[in-house]
Structure 1
Amino acid sequence: MLSIFACTSAAAQDYTAADVHFMSGMIYHHAQAVLIAGWAPSHDASPSLRALCERIVVGQGDEIALMQRWLRDRHEEVPDPSATHAMMPGMDPAPMMPGMLTADQLAQLDRARGREFDRLFLTFMIQHHQGAITMVNALFGTGAGEQEKVFRFASDVFADQTTEIARMQKMLAALLFERPGQ
């Protein structure tokens, strides 16, 4: 006969280690996106790129809070990406998730200004978003991601990142084929 405690504890564990790994890794992944999107104003980004970057900062900042809360509610370790120096130019990221920028790429982007910043940002953020999609596919490929909040979040990440990739590809194409002075 199962005790009430055993039933409660079994019901409370409705997630997998893969879910925890995904949520923890995505915190680092999103934190890097928020960091570099935050550079847009100081790196003389175009108005259209600044608007995209503002959406990334707000949206992914909110998602970081959601992931941290999800982990905390389950008494799992909650990563603090700001404490690792993982996303600063010249530093190698501690947990290198798919699509994350290398220290060299971060330094290259940080040196860029204006049109060159726009070009590099779009190129690197497309890579970054493709990495997030890889992470979602890996989660679902393991049979994990069935817990309701993880499933909804991962599905939203997939849809949002796919949409933003298409938008950024159009922005990049327009930038590459624009005549100077237009």
Structure 2
Amino acid sequence: MKASITRRLAATLLALSAAACGGTTRATPAPAPGPGVPAAVDVHGTHAATGPAPAVNNGGHPWTEADARFMSSMIGHHAQAIVIAQLAPTHDASPEVRRLAARIIGSQEDEIATMRQWLADRGLPVPEAHAGHHDHGGGMMPGMLTPAQVAQLDAARGEDFDRLFLTFMIQHHRGAVAMVEQLFGSYGAGQDETVFKFASDVNVDQATEIDRMQRMLEALLFASPAP
């Protein structure tokens, strides 16, 4: 009797073992990462060897904290440039400065719309387009005018306005270029196509405008009579 029970128990265990083996699913190996994509991420969301991995939302758009901080902060940075440029028509600016200001307003309003849409598509907070002085890490954004500088510009008229406008806008543009450099210096940042193109355009466009404004400022200063 005991031998029979033992044989039946052994047969049952063998059947259960076979069923378990047959129902096991082999893990599918992860695809090899593409160029510029972190190779492995551990359970804490950290790159196994080199640092933080890009976050990915439900829509599959890869982004990093540096991408989101850049896009959010640049909205406020652009908003101040627009506020400054809007003073030109009411402060007796020269025709050339007015044209420059109009171009800044048009291009940066379009870019703010792009940044807001990028954040919304990823389910991230979308800041209002107003001129904030601090980025989303709490620090002062590069190139931003202080309230005292804005008041100084607002009090100027004519040639004095042109001189201050060009001086302050060069400062402001240099700050935007510095923000781009900070973005591309952050691990894993700028991989997203929209972020990469936008940041690259900001770098080129604002560097070009800096050169132009420097020439305008030099012409204005040299044309002014000596005191």
Bucket of the pairwise TM-score, normalised by the shorter protein? 0.7 to 0.9
Classify 1:153/1:121 alpha carbon distance in 2 versus 1 (closer, same or farther; 3 Å).
same
Question: Higher Cα Rg: structure 1 or 2?
Answer: 2
Choose which of 192, 196, 201 in structure 2 pairs with 1:156: 201
Amino acid at match of 1:74: R
The Cα shift of 1:168 comes to 0.2
Choose which of 102, 106, 120 in structure 2 pairs with 1:58: 106
Q: Which has the higher helix share?
A: 1
For 1:147 and 1:173, locate their aligned partners in 2 and report how far apart those are by CA, in whole Å: 39
Give % identity: 59
Alignment partner of 1:12 is 2:56: no
Choose which of 94, 116, 120 in structure 2 pairs with 1:72: 120
The answer for unaligned runs of 5 or more in structure 2 is 1-26, 29-55
Residue 135 of structure 1 is matched in structure 2 by 179
Q: Give the alignment of 1:22-171 within 5 angstroms.
A: 22-82=70-130, 86=132, 93-95=133-135, 96-143=140-187, 144-171=189-216
Task: Tell whether the 8 Å contact from 2:57 to 2:122 is kept in structure 1 after alignment.
Answer: no
Classify 1:21/1:113 alpha carbon distance in 2 versus 1 (closer, same or farther; 3 Å).
same
Residue 34 of structure 2 is matched in structure 1 by none
Classify 1:81/1:10 alpha carbon distance in 2 versus 1 (closer, same or farther; 3 Å).
closer
Amino acid at match of 1:170: R
State the TM-score, normalized to the length of structure 2: 0.70
For 2:134 and 2:203, locate their aligned partners in 1 and report how far apart those are by CA, in whole Å: 24
The Cα shift of 1:81 comes to 3.6
Amino acid at match of 1:69: Q
For 1:97 and 1:76, locate their aligned partners in 2 and report how far apart those are by CA, in whole Å: 20
Moved over 6 A (4+): none
The Cα shift of 1:11 comes to 6.7
For 2:58 and 2:113, locate their aligned partners in 1 and report how far apart those are by CA, in whole Å: 26
